[in-house]
Amino acid sequence: MTFLIALTLFVLAVFLGVELISKVPPTLHTPLMSGSNAISGITLIGAMVSAGSDHRTLTTTLAFAAVVLATVNVVGGFLVTNRMLSMFSSRTRKPAEQHD
């Protein structure tokens, strides 16, 4: 992949990100932040290649630490976001609760 293609992907994805997020209601700001934070743990896949490649001890050690940190970020991030979102409820969505 040439640098220009990589740059194209980057710029297009930034614009896409802005479009996707710009209308998010304040109620979802915290889950959005922790959910997107989990996605930024994508660096995990880079860490995996380096950690598994057996190049030399230094790089394997660095990459192993990266795998651990990124996995904490990914697993913790998605789990805690799910936990938060499971608490959001609306009576308009569950009409049965309206009469209590």
Partner 1 sequence: MDRADLIVLGYLVAAVFFILGLKGLARPRTARRGNLLGASGMLLAVLVTLIDQAIVSYWVLAAGLAVGAGIGTVLAVRVQMTSMPELVALFNGFGGAASVLVAGASFHEFVDLDLVDDQVSTAAAVTALIGAVTFTGSVIAFFKLKESLKWSGFGGIRVVNGALALTSLALGAMVIIDPSNTTWLWALVAVGAVLGLLAVVPIGGADMPVVIAILNSLSGLAASATGFVLDNTLLIIAGSLVGASGLILTQIMCVAMNRSAIAVIFSDAPSSSAGSIDADDVYAGRVTSSSPDEVAMILDTASRVVIVPGYGLAVAQAQHVVRELTNVLEKRGVEVVFGIHPVAGRMPGHMNVLLAEAEVDYELLLEMDVVNPTFAQTDVVIVIGANDVVNPLAETDPESPIAGMPILNVDHARTVVVIKRSLSPGFAGIPNPLFAADNALMLFGDGKQAVSDITKALAEV
Please report which helix (H) or strand (E) contains residue 33, including its range: helix 29-39
Nearest by Cα to 70 from 37, 34, 29 = 37
Residue 54 or 96 having the CB closest to partner 1: 54
Maximum Cα–Cα distance across the chain: 66
Least separation in angstroms between residue 96's CB and partner 1 is 13
Work out how close the CB of 69 gets to partner 1 at its nearest, in angstroms, rounded to a whole number: 4
State the amino acid at position 51 in one-letter form.
Answer: A
Residue 40 neighbours by CB distance under 10 Å: 12
Question: Closest approach of Cβ 11 to partner 1, in Å?
Answer: 8
